[in-house]
Structures are given as C-alpha cells and as structure tokens.
Amino acid sequence: MLIIKVGSTFPELAAAGDFENWTADGTGLPQNALRVWDAVCAPHDPPPGDWRGAVITGSHAMVSDREPWSEALAGWLRNAVTAQLPVLGICYGHQLLAHAMGGTVDYHPRGREIGTVEVRLTDAAGRDPLFGDLPPVFFAHATHAQSVVALPPGAVLLAGNDDEPHHAFRLGRLAWGVQFHPEYDPFLMRAYVTAQADALAAVGRDWRRIRSAVRATPEACGLLRRFADLCAPATAAQD
C-alpha cells in the first residue's frame, strides 16, 4: 500500500511521529507492506498501477493555494480513480480528491472545526463497503480550516454533521474522502488543540473546553484497518 505524505505535523509533535507514521500504524499492516511517497518533495510520482491501494495524509497546507506539487498530485489522483485504484484521502487528502474530481474546496464558512466531534452517517453509508459496518452516529477527531464546500459530480455523500456537512464521500466504487482524522488518538488530538490554543482564543474559542472534551474514537480509528482489508480483495480480482 502507498502512503502519500503531503505535509508534516507541528515541530513540537515530531517526537511522536508524523502523518505517515500514524497512518501506517492505523492500517495494521507490517512495514514491508507499506511504501511512503513524499509528494511535496519527491520529483517522480509512482504509477497508480503499482499499488494495491493509496492513502493521502493530512497537511497544514491549503488546497486552495494550488501549489504546484498539490496540483500535480491532483492529476495523479484523477488517473488513480480512473484506474480504479482504491484511494482514501484524509483531511487534506479528502479535499484534494474532491478538487481533483471537480469539487470545490475553500475556507470553512463557520471557521475551524476542531476536537472530538460527532459524525452522522447518511442512508447511503449503510450500503457502502467501507462505512457499512459503522454505527449511524460515532465520534471522530477533526481539525481543519478548509472544507469541501461542493462535492464532485457523482460523489455519494456518506457522513456529515451540523458543522461540516461533507465529512465523508465516495467516488465510483473505490475512492473515499474523509474530513476527520482516523489516524489520530486522544493524545494527538489534545496536542493539536494545544498547539492552536492562541489562534482559537483569538476568535473567542474555549480551547481548554475543546481539549477536555477529547475522547477515544474507536469507530473512526478503525477506518484505516478496514480500508487496508478492503484493498486486498479489491485488487486481487485484477491480478
């Protein structure tokens, strides 16, 4: 499986790993079954057909900035979706997948969503191969300033809440985006709230209350392992 790294965490969290490490841990796969492609720094992109699946990590960058590396990755994603490579985009990856396939990404009109949030599935999620076994309502960790404000044509909405209507969607059979962070545990979520405390306080947000409300999110955290399990039979049929 390919993990596409599109950014790095805060320097003060580096001792705990980075996006690609947390994502790899979440899949439950051994290290020899995973490869990391740093799409920001690496000049050569791997062909989509070389992999059983791909996960695009989160980032502190903004999709709407249209940075050259990001736009190049958007083109790679279009080819991957066309080739029916199983894809899971997380936060920035979710937004970039939407942008690549014709959706619209911009700053969240209600400001940053951050902390442990409630996510509700749509009726369509009950028939989805990745989301079908999740409960109708579950908790997930989130931190994002931008959002998918308009889904791509043909996308199936799978989950949302009152603050973020597009928490998850599917394109075709095998491409998913999730705005929440299945790779975060409570320690990481609290650390992200603390790291952004000044910015939250500046807009009148009670960051201590947000941090104290962080809780375990077993259903959301299981998504990466479910995606890894889904990839093997999905691609074995093509071998």
Whether 71 is catalytic: no
Count other C-beta atoms under 10 Å from residue 178's C-beta: 28
For helices 223-236 and 19-27, the axis angle rounded to 10 degrees is 70
What span, in angstroms and rounded, lies between the C-alpha atoms of 208 and 191? 11
Please count the residues of the chain.
239
Query: Among residues 141, 164, 183, 221, which one is catalytic?
Result: 183
Domain total for the chain? 1
Catalytic site residue from 91, 94, 144, 231: 91
Q: List pLDDT tens digits, range 217-231.
A: 999 999 999 999 999
Distance CA 122, CA 131 (A): 10
Q: Taking a C-beta distance cutoff of 8 angstroms, is the pair 180, 86 a contact? A: no
162-204: per-residue pLDDT in tens? Answer: 999 999 999 999 999 999 999 999 999 999 999 999 999 999 9
167, 181, 221, 231: which is the annotated catalytic residue? 181
User: Is-catalytic flag, 181?
Assistant: yes
Domain range for 108 is 2-236
What percent of the chain lies above the pLDDT cut of 70?
Answer: 97
- CATH no. for residue 140? 3.40.50.880
More confident residue, 224 or 238: 224
Quote the pTM value. Answer: 0.94
- The single-letter DSSP state of residue 97 is H
pLDDT at 237 over 70: no
3-class secondary structure, 211: helix
Q: Is 183 a catalytic residue?
A: yes
